[in-house]
Amino acid sequence: MSKQPQSEIKGDELVGKGHVVKSDSRKINTSSELPDRTTGRSAPLGATVVEGGVNFSLYSRTAAEVELLLFDSVNDGTPARVIRLCPADNRSYFYWHVFVPDVKPGQLYGYRIDGPTDLSSGLAFDSNKLLLDPYARGVAVPQDYQRTLAYEPGDNTATAIKGVVVDSHDYDWEGDLPLNTPASRTIIYELHVRGFTRHPNSGLTADKRGTYAGLIEKIPYLQELGVTAVELLPVFHFDPQDCPPGKVNYWGYAPISFFAPHPGYSSRLDHLGPVDEFRDMVKALHRAGIEVILDVVFNHTAEGDEQGPTLSFRGIDNRTYYILEEDGARYANFSGCGNTLNANHPVVRRMIVDSLRYWVEEMHVDGFRFDLASILSRDESGKPHPNPPVLWDIESEPALAGTKLLAEAWDAAGLYQVGNFVGDAWNEWNGRFRDDIRDFFIGASGSVRSAADRMVGSPEIYGHKEREVEHTINFVTCHDGFTLNDLVSYNEKHNAANGEDNRDGSDDNRSWNCGVEGPTSDPQIEQLRNRQIKNFLASTLLSLGVPMILMGDEVRRTQQGNNNAYCQDNEISWFDWSLLEQHTDLHRFVRFLCARRSQRELSHEQFPVSLNALLNNAKKAWHGTQLDRPDWSDHSHSLAFQATLTTNGMQFFLIMNAYWESLEFELPQLESNRWRRWIDTSLVSPEDIVELEDAPEILTDSYLAADRSVVLLYASI
């Protein structure tokens, strides 16, 4: 071990026998459950505030020595106290633990661990590095944090991230309860906490921009838009320096902690502030009727590959936390980020479930979107597991019952499980909806049949599972890729600002610039782009499944053609609030769609029915320009769909014309009334979408759908 300050204390010198502690609101007489000296308890893991002090517990199977360091200031290079844990007294099997009296919430701490270093065996201890507790509920980042010092030789204590002791029960939720919004009425809005309010024109004071508190102030905007859930890009504490030199990891897919909210998103400067400010945000969103879904990253960490920094897991128990290659010295890289979390190891499985349970029970979140979720199905050798234990642990955990679970059912190593993700309670990001709807509206050959299937819940993909209608999460754009504005404005990615010579980001964008690459003042092209954006939004919000829209798509937010803006913490990524005034017509269009979506009837959820059963029993028909004659050929670019909703007393006729000319569609005959036009994306606002009761009657037996347009007609039964 490295040389210690004079304030070193042995773990068994801290307290006397029979100390009574309180854990999880239950009093425990430790004299009957602990050794002769009160040396702490192995459970729960992390720093737990109990009566009279704090219990610290850490898992490390192969550590030889463990020290707990306590700090007075986050920038301190020398700890105020060093507590050496005695293996004989402070270790139970592979759990190192100690009770420290008089420690209070807000205390800063970290670990130093020594043990064998043998990379061929996957052992990577470095006693010079201060390590973050994997279960830390809060983190504090020094002003001069330097990621490089965590992988260069030498002591990095002064610049290392410290854990913060948090009393997770010390918060007044004021009766806050889960909203449990039905899936059929859920509309997800994917947003970045910082990017949503960081722009100088957000109308917020400088201290609130880019923070949880700033998001609270923009809740009225979300309410007016009509979304029912926000899906927040990663808020687990991440390393902003995990990126190319001179850039910043803006998206946050570089986790260091799975329990602590990112302090960089807090307007409060005290160490406990980020936890409480995050909870203030959740409570305020719930009061507004908006659920909170977290984008969680359990597939890798910010420690990177074998050349990466030692921040936490690597220096605590490398072989437990990561999947290693056969030589033991290199990391399996199914995430594309340098390493892969060993998610199906019993200890890591426990940590993942403990994390999810914590965010539900103590932070009141409503759901999770699992980044690269297919990695969670890989076993300890990296091979796909037919019944991955961690996925079933998550699904069967009682505390998570009713929580929304969304899987990004693929990984960076080619494992693609859309339609086949393991489990019964999981919903899936439907990447094929994105691709097929894009193909349809850019006029790709052979796209009609797939687009039709996506609009009715993708039975081609999910029918075999006999899952419910909302199994599919439908989206056309997300944080990864073009915004909707850029999807209709660029044929190619323009990622030069990322500093990788435009090599990064996907080349498979399925986009069309409508005739000009990038911004244009041509009114006809602008009109076409606006129409195409409305087509994509209408398809997403009218389809069967759970719709998701990307932050700013409702006002044509642009990233200037950058389809991989993960390192752009600037106006490329931020929500430009001036766009709301420029594109009021589009904003209104989305508001009207959301308002109608949130009123959907719930009978199929109250009495669960599979997607197959719903479609088989529905009164529906596919048409082309002629009734009952859909054109499924490869050269077709249009379709029409008729459905009757008995419970609503209405029938609908949907026209999707991706052809470059107007087409005349025959309309079904009605007995006693006429079709009314609710939506026509080719019309100028406010005629593009109207209130149902104001919808004009169609006086003819056919409808002329303009080129590249979506039309929805309705009639009462």
Along the chain (717 residues), what's the average pLDDT of each consecutive run of 10 residues?
42 37 29 50 96 96 97 97 95 96 97 93 95 98 96 96 97 96 95 98 98 98 98 98 95 98 97 98 98 98 96 97 93 96 98 98 98 96 95 97 97 95 94 98 98 96 86 97 98 97 97 98 98 98 97 98 98 98 98 86 58 81 97 98 85 97 97 94 98 95 98 93
What is the SS3 assignment for 296? strand
Check if the beta carbon of residue 561 is closer than 8 Å to that of residue 490.
yes
Closest by CA position to 613, among listed 399, 467, 489: 467
Q: Cα(11)–Cα(263) distance, rounded to whole angstroms?
A: 31
DSSP string, 359-380: HHHTT---EEEETTGGGGGB-T
Q: Cα(601)–Cα(538) distance, rounded to whole angstroms?
A: 19
What is the SS3 assignment for 554? helix
Closest by CA position to 97, among listed 86, 106, 108: 86
Q: Cα(122)–Cα(322) distance, rounded to whole angstroms?
A: 9
Whether the CA torsion 239, 241, 242, 243 is positive or negative: it is positive
Closest by CA position to 526, among listed 517, 537, 536, 514: 514
Residue 642: partners with Cβ closer than 8 Å, 6 or more residues away: 620, 621, 622, 623, 651, 652, 653, 654, 668
The token pair at 204 is 């917020």
Q: Cα(605)–Cα(468) distance, rounded to whole angstroms?
A: 8
Q: Cα(131)–Cα(160) distance, rounded to whole angstroms?
A: 8
Q: Cα(410)–Cα(414) distance, rounded to whole angstroms?
A: 7
For residue 264, give the amino acid letter. Answer: G
Start-to-end Cα distance in the chain:
80
- Token pair 């205390």 is found at 107
The whole-number pLDDT of residue 152 equals 95
Check if the beta carbon of residue 453 is closer than 8 Å to that of residue 435.
no
Backbone torsions φ then ψ of 435, nearest 5 degrees: -70, -45
Check if the beta carbon of residue 47 is closer than 8 Å to that of residue 137.
yes
Residue 346: partners with Cβ closer than 8 Å, 6 or more residues away: none
Backbone torsions φ then ψ of 219, nearest 5 degrees: -60, -40
Side-chain half-sphere of 151: how many Cα atoms within 13 Å? Answer: 13
DSSP string, 127-165: TTS-B--TT-SEEE--TT--GGGGTSSS--GGGS-EEE-
Bridge-based pairing of strands 95-101 and 117-118 is: unpaired
Neighbours of 330 (CB within 10 A): 14
Angle (nearest 5°) at CA 549 between 548 and 551: 135
408 is catalytic: yes
Residue 192: partners with Cβ closer than 8 Å, 6 or more residues away: 232, 233, 250, 251, 479, 551, 573
User: For residue 472, what are the β-bridge partners?
Assistant: 428
Bridge-based pairing of strands 404-407 and 427-429 is: parallel
DSSP string, 607-649: TT-BHHHHHHHSEEEEE-SSTT----STT--EEEEEEEETTTT
Bridge-based pairing of strands 138-140 and 188-191 is: unpaired
Backbone torsions φ then ψ of 275, nearest 5 degrees: -65, -50
Side-chain half-sphere of 542: how many Cα atoms within 13 Å? Answer: 26
The token pair at 56 is 């610290």
The whole-number pLDDT of residue 496 equals 96
What is the SS3 assignment for 650? strand
Backbone torsions φ then ψ of 470, nearest 5 degrees: -90, 20
3-state secondary structure 218-247: CHHHHHHHCCCEEEECCCECECCCCCCCCC
Instruction: Report which DSSP code applies to 474.
Output: E
Residue 706: partners with Cβ closer than 8 Å, 6 or more residues away: 657, 662, 680, 682
Question: Which of 371, 436, 439, 554 is the catalytic position?
Answer: 371
Angle (nearest 5°) at CA 240 between 237 and 242: 110
Neighbours of 336 (CB within 10 A): 13
Q: Cα(555)–Cα(558) distance, rounded to whole angstroms?
A: 9
The token pair at 537 is 């939004």
Instruction: Report which DSSP code applies to 86.
Output: P
Q: Cα(426)–Cα(404) distance, rounded to whole angstroms?
A: 8
- Token pair 């029915």 is found at 609
Instruction: Report which DSSP code applies to 657.
Output: E
Question: Which of 89, 242, 408, 554 is the catalytic position?
Answer: 408
Torsion of CA 415, 420, 421, 424, to 10 degrees: -170
Check if the beta carbon of residue 340 is closer than 8 Å to that of residue 416.
no
The token pair at 193 is 């906490």
Q: What is the largest CA-CA distance in the chain?
A: 93
3-state secondary structure 430-446: CHHHHHHHHHHHCCCCC
Residue 414: burial class (beta carbons within 10 Å; 0-12, 13-18, 19+): exposed
Check if the beta carbon of residue 78 is closer than 8 Å to that of residue 157.
yes
Where are the alpha helices (H) located in 50-106, listed in sequence order? none
The token pair at 467 is 């899952």
Q: Cα(652)–Cα(675) distance, rounded to whole angstroms?
A: 9
Closest by CA position to 62, among listed 38, 98, 91, 82: 91
Check if the beta carbon of residue 19 is closer than 8 Å to that of residue 28.
no
Q: Cα(207)–Cα(674) distance, rounded to whole angstroms?
A: 56
Q: Cα(361)–Cα(223) distance, rounded to whole angstroms?
A: 25
Closest by CA position to 706, among listed 672, 653, 659: 659
The whole-number pLDDT of residue 603 equals 54
pLDDT in tens, 324-350: 998 889 999 999 999 999 999 999 999
